[in-house]
Amino acid sequence: MMDNNDIIKLLPDAVANQIAAGEVIQRPASVVKELLENALDAGATQIDLFVKEAGKTAIMVIDNGIGMSETDARLSFERHATSKIHRADDLFAIRTMGFRGEALASIAAIAQVELKTRRKTDELGTKILIEGSVVKSQEMQPMPEGTTFTIKNLFFNVPARRNFLKSNQAEMRHIIDEFHRVVLMHPEIGFSFSSNEKELFHLYPGTLKQRIVALFGNNYNERLLPVEQATSSVSVNGFVGKPAFARKTRGEQYFFVNRRFIKHAYLHHAVENAFQELLPKDSFPSYFINIEINPTEIDINIHPTKTEINFQDSKLVYAIIHAAVKKTIGQHNLSPLIDFDVDPKLNIDFSEISRANRQVVHPTVSFDPEFNPFEKTKTQSFNHHEKQKNIEGWRNLYGERIDTHSSVEFENTETQQTPFSFEEVTKRFIQVQRSYIITSIKSGLMVINQHLAHWRILYEDFLKRLENTKQASQQELFPQQIRLNATEASLLRELIPDLKTLGFGIEEINQTTFVINGTPVNSNEKDVTQTLEKALENYKRNQHDLHLEKRLNLARSMALQLAIRNDHDLQEVEMTRLVDKLFACNVPDVAPNGQKIFFILKTNEIESRFNETK
């Protein structure tokens, strides 16, 4: 018996479905994933995907699978209605893509859905219209065998969720990612994908290698090495990329368990470790690996998207993957080999070499007899223009509020006094370990990290260009092509206007290929394709930082790639120019990531070292 004062009440079905939808359907790509997986479970041999306005307006999936009866079609939209599970034990023997029975109910709760389906044995099919979990109509109609789902106006009744969707370019990248994850491990099935009535992919049935090449380009024909390893409990098969073709981005890295895409950092390490010492610095291996394992040995029911997974014996799976990749590398002579068989021609009897015939060369030492180590070095001050900019920059940082966009990241910087006098900075610099610049100041020694200093300089320069749309570009004598996967190409296409402002000349050739015919004047002859690839990787990584606006993120990512590295020789004139520009910056003491650019070793600290008692 209910009391009027009771505060716990059952939620209406419509509200409960919307809450459940929040776990399963996060964006249009979530709908695409669920519908494609349902089509696979229906035994389809051809699946066609159509989206409009990145799925915000419409998503349609057509398959030629087994279809559904009139009753099944209606029940498919009920929560927890599924054909895959009959008892709790079935959760540990799942080989289908979907199994919870939540997907269609969740989609129907936040969209306008039309379902058309017919079995081969039926003369007429079933058409159902549902809007916000409410069935608007159900009728029998003639239609082709199979199933067609049309999803319109996603989140039409949850405007707050719709407002959180990103730009069409960003949402399309997520859809392309999900499409890749589904189609890769089903090469025996034909797929097509069209966006705004333009076909992006038309994939014919074939082998896994043919599917990879069709998705990522013909150049993958020569890049792939087969991986295969079978044990009594686990089988591994797929492909890894040759080390010579390692990318600066983490693009093509795919793990599947029983042909279902998963994310697993521990197993990723197994692959990376197998490539140890074979990959260039900051490069990532490509891999497309499927793990076949008894479903009783895994738990995939730990996350609504089913991309996370638990293994009963993760160490065993790790060891098998590592061994499989290592074997592939060894079979193709890619790992360094040590040959203990000595060439007979190199067997020299050193006892036959007469020591009497050797000329003894005495070591010599050259020095300047006029050198006086106690003579003082004349100090020079910065030129008047740079000095004024320096002092003004430091006054802004430590005395007044900073009125520049570059201060967004450091608005909490504590107010303090200028730590040294600019007039006392010498124009003599020493580079230590090819990474640090040391100069003398009145209060001691200043040690500057050359990479962080240059990063700060370029960052502020790029921000000014983006603010003023100032372009400074140098034409490439030999334009270079850069080929990206569909996701990265979509991201680059979105950034091209801002990249042109930074000084890049980029033109699109086709959906995945671009030509670079101009670079920023301060690119220092770096490999422009690698610079762009790495900048895109950093940009994607920083996209989750809510404090970084798009342009801040781009300026930070590009500056990081173009900045000189540590372990890089600098001439004295280069060090002088670098320090001059650093202290002309608005925030010269902190890098864009918050690291300190320099520190000061005070004279009394140095003296105390010599006065320490043993």
In which band, very low, low, confident or very high, does the pLDDT at 425 lie, cut at 50, 70 and 90?
A: low
Residue corresponding to tokens 């159900």 = 138
What's the maximum distance between 2 C-alpha atoms anywhere in the chain? 114
Q: What is the pLDDT of residue 3?
A: 61
Over residues 538-564, mean pLDDT: 77
User: Phi and psi for 237 in degrees, rounded to 5?
Assistant: -150, 155
pLDDT band at 413 (very low <50, low <70, confident <90, very high): very low
Listed residue (413, 377, 439) closest to 583, CA to CA? 439
Q: Is pLDDT of 191 > 60?
A: yes
pLDDT for 172: 92
Q: Determine contact, residues 44/63, Cβ cutoff 8 Å.
A: yes
Cα–Cα distance, 428 to 248 (Å, whole number): 37
- Torsion-angle region of 80 (φ positive above 0: left; ψ -120 to 50: alpha; else: beta): left
Token representation of residue 62: 């057509």
> What residue type is 262 in one-letter code?
I
Answer whether residue 104 shows pLDDT above 70.
yes
Has residue 508 got a pLDDT over 60? yes
CA 372, distance to chain mean position in Å, is 56
Give the closest residue to 454 by CA, choosing from 386, 550, 396, 522.
522
Share of the chain above pLDDT 70, in %: 72
Rounded to whole angstroms, the Cα distance separating 44 from 508 reads 36
Domains defined along the chain, listed by start: 13-206 (3.30.565.10), 210-329 (3.30.230.10), 386-453+570-610 (3.30.1540.20), 473-520+525-562 (3.30.1370.100)
Burial string for 295-329 (b: 16+ CB within 10 Å, else e) reads eebbebeeebebbebebeeeeebbebbbebbbebb
Segment 131-142 mean pLDDT: 92
- Residue 350's pLDDT is 34
Give residues with Cβ within 8 angstroms of 424, minimum separation 6. 379, 441, 442
